[in-house]
Chains A and B, each alone.
Chain A
């Protein structure tokens, strides 16, 4: 019986753990603060590498900042104001949108044809694209709902 349980655990537990992680991510996403931010192509010659789009958040003030707090800007809904903060210290209490290395290149995964279409739209209408950014609280971010239309 113990041997059977051991075999079952070794073969089933890895999948159960990954499924649990996916459920945790889904539940966490619902409670995470999110903000739509404009994006720019990372490399205007070839944004598409593999089946993902490479981009940067369109936050010129964030360049060079190791970590930052983003605050909604009533004057520009897609470009929040950036306040550089220390990465080592816990984020300030009023920092609901804490992000590490905001100037880095990010990836947005999409099927091949959709990624090609996104690349075309992004190159044809620079400045029109945006993505919904989910803030995890520890500086990490993830994305959803990329759009190439003005909002």
Chain B
């Protein structure tokens, strides 16, 4: 098999050697070191192969499930789950499972538990919603997932389940929450609760990685929600499809107070770098700002608001040396500028003119940023 990962590293090391950054001996040592690692494609193939076999069995059973008596069907599924649990116990208790085997067993047990819940609901023709199913699944699998899972796949499966449960809960109760002006407050509480995850994790050391993960995910959700709000005000001001002004302001106030409380609880004295904290705490208020100072339906306010927000993200990423986030911020600003020109010019001909003009602005901005970074020693070529 062609090792694409190995080839990419070898090509990069050759580039460094040709540029005179490393000598021949160092290059040889680096190549030998990378070659000594296990090939990365094999675990991926194992996971995909196992998943394919599992899905195939599920499809065969699903096509004929009414031919099998309920007791036999559910009994078989419970037996499979118990066997997975016993396998996991034998491996974890005696340290016999390797990293991939442990993560695989936990992931299959987690997915099979979700399927078992759905299986019971389907067998008895219960009429519950998706939120109930996902919430019950999270209650059942969170203890063993948080306690034993360490890999990214399990972490993201659980996170996806958490967001799916929150989303379906919001959708299924949208009418009642909307009537009470609590849609945005619910979203705010969800983000703040996840952002506060490192607080209990500080007590329980084993959960530290999970706390950090949830904290980062909720930070991303906060940035996305603020950006989406900057776009949404432009669409139609406050139409009937969007939350009411009271709802937005109450949610923003709730999020600001919650994030401030989290940072106050986490802080040990004044922070060395206050700007990231200020950015996080001010984000909800910034999202609601056009509703307070006016200009909610203005294209200019929306575009400037969005670009300023992502300029702050790029600045913080630059200060933190995070190349990928810095690049993401530059791309987000570029796309928003592009959208401004497409919005400003109507019709095909004028849209073409708008695209040429926006391209020119972006090329000029890219040149200016490159020059600036050359002098300041930035994190990346933009």
Contact = CB atoms under 8 A, between A and B. Distances in A.
Interface of A: 3-4, 7-8, 10-12, 14-15, 17-19, 21-22, 25-26, 29, 51, 106-114, 140-144
23 contacts: A7-B88, A7-B93, A10-B148, A11-B86, A11-B88, A11-B89, A11-B144, A14-B143, A14-B144, A15-B116, A17-B140, A18-B116, A18-B117, A19-B78, A22-B123, A25-B120, A26-B124, A106-B127, A108-B125, A111-B65, A112-B62, A142-B126, A144-B125
A14 B140 contact: yes
A108 B123 CA distance: 10
Contacts of B88: 7, 11
A4 B88 CA distance: 11
Residue from B82, B89, B113 whose CB has the most chain A CB atoms within 10 Å: B89
Interface string B64-81: 111000100010001001
Given A8-B93, A14-B144, A111 B64 contact: yes
Q: How many B residues touch the partner, as a band?
A: 20 to 34
B289 to A, nearest CB: 41
A12 B93 CA distance: 13
Which secondary structure dominates chain B's binding surface?
Answer: helix
Given A15-B85, A142-B124, A142-B125, 17 more contacts: A8-B85, A10-B148, A12-B86, A14-B143, A14-B144, A15-B78, A19-B74, A22-B120, A22-B123, A26-B70, A51-B62, A106-B127, A107-B127, A108-B125, A112-B62, A140-B127, A141-B127
B208 to A, nearest CB: 19
Given A15-B113, A18-B117, A142-B127, A109 B122 contact: yes
Nearest to B82: A15
Contact of B62 (A15, A106, A108, A111): A111
